[in-house]
Amino acid sequence: MTKLIVICGATATGKSGLALALAARLGCIIISADSRQVYRNFDIGTAKPTADEQKLVPHYLINICNPTDTMTVADYQQQAQTLISSLSSPDYPAPPLFVGGTGLYIRSVTRGMKIPRVAPQQELRSQLESLGQYQLYTMLQQVDPIASQKIHPHDLVRTLRALEVFYVTGSPLSDQQGENPPNYPILQIGLDCDSAHLTHRIARRTEKMIADGLVTEVEYLCQKYGSDLPLLKTLGYQEIKQYLAGENSLDKAQELTVLHTRQFAKRQRTWFKAYPEIEWFDAESSELVEKVWQRVQEFII
């Protein structure tokens, strides 16, 4: 029977390193749960597994779409669920490792979220936005009162999405949501450490990214896809893009990347802490691999 081992937590907590160590012992594959690693050419700034690491352990759901495409949560969920189902064969005796920090990707699989398959409708969104948030929220209360109760009156993003789903499908978003959890066992391992250690980890990783050629990567991406590519507005890339545009120094770009990554990590920690099924381990422990390995052995027996 299919089983799944999740390794999650905030950015820079060492998820990839732990996953590689466990995969070597289990002889299994790694499935990425990272919303930016799915895109080709975004490598250094997303901490994507290196070519050597991918040779050591097969990695899936990385480099599966172009930066100009949009990978929705529903698209990702479908690919992940199909992949996991295909692994329940004698050819794959060990459960896969589902590894990443994108909480929505992980939840879409572990909880079987029901997600409306509606891609972003830019023209529709533009028309709706022109009406203003007050009128949009009033419209939402009329067409989907259940969803409106869960969305703050000032939350433009979620209001737009709920209206977008309604006008595209003709059905309220609230009627299309819910969960259908998978019927296979799931072990969820979370990595965490105190804020001071996490800040140090983030600073070290940012420094390494720059040393590994992040500036050159961003420069290439700007030339290939244009500096207005939405993905270039994400963590790490936006700050380096500003440096390349002469808006700040490289030191300042590095400082801002660390600051923004810390803020992002705080949001990730809040997200993951809300799920009681996650078993937490200290990312700073010298015995981390052995402790997690012991728990994994108990799970797969």
pLDDT digits (tens, 9 = 90+) for 31-61: 999 999 999 999 999 999 999 999 999 999 9
What's the pLDDT score for residue 93? 79
Q: Which residues contact 91 (CB under 8 A, 6 or more apart)?
A: none
Closest CA relative to residue 102, chosen from 168, 6, 173: 6
Q: Per the structure block, which two tokens stand in for 148?
A: 């409106």
DSSP state letters, 175-241 = GG--B---SS-EEEEEEE--HHHHHHHHHHHHHHHHHTTHHHHHHHHHHHH-TT-GGGGSTTHHHHH
Q: Is 78 exposed, middle or buried (0-12, 13-18, 19+ CB in 10 A)?
A: middle
What's the pLDDT score for residue 143? 94
More confident residue, 175 or 80: 80
Q: Per the structure block, which two tokens stand in for 241?
A: 């893009």
DSSP state letters, 101-130 = S-HHHHHHHHS-B--------HHHHHHHHT
As a whole number, the mean pLDDT across the chain is 94
Tens-digit pLDDT profile for residues 86-145: 887 777 779 999 999 999 999 999 999 988 778 788 899 899 999 999 999 999 999 999
Predicted TM-score (pTM) of the model is 0.87
Closest CA relative to residue 58, chosen from 78, 33, 28: 28
Question: 247 falls in which pLDDT band (50, 70, 90)?
Answer: very high
Average pLDDT score over residue span 13-22 = 98
Work out the percent of the chain whose per-residue pLDDT is above 70.
Answer: 100
User: What CA–CA distance (Å, rounded) separates 231 from 222?
Assistant: 10
Tens-digit pLDDT profile for residues 181-195: 999 999 999 999 999
Which domains are seen in the chain, by residue range?
A: 4-114+180-300 (3.40.50.300), 122-176 (1.10.20.140)
What's the pLDDT score for residue 177? 79
What's the pLDDT score for residue 87? 84
What's the pLDDT score for residue 228? 95
What's the pLDDT score for residue 174? 86
SS3 call for 82: helix
Tens-digit pLDDT profile for residues 56-85: 999 999 999 999 998 888 899 999 999 999
Q: Per the structure block, which two tokens stand in for 149?
A: 């109760």
Question: 2 falls in which pLDDT band (50, 70, 90)?
Answer: confident
User: What CA–CA distance (Å, rounded) separates 145 from 154?
Assistant: 16
Average pLDDT score over residue span 283-296 = 98
Give the CA-trace dihedral at 151, 155, 156, 157, to 10 degrees. -80
User: What CA–CA distance (Å, rounded) separates 4 from 84?
Assistant: 8
Q: Is 142 exposed, middle or buried (0-12, 13-18, 19+ CB in 10 A)?
A: exposed
pLDDT at 1 over 70: no
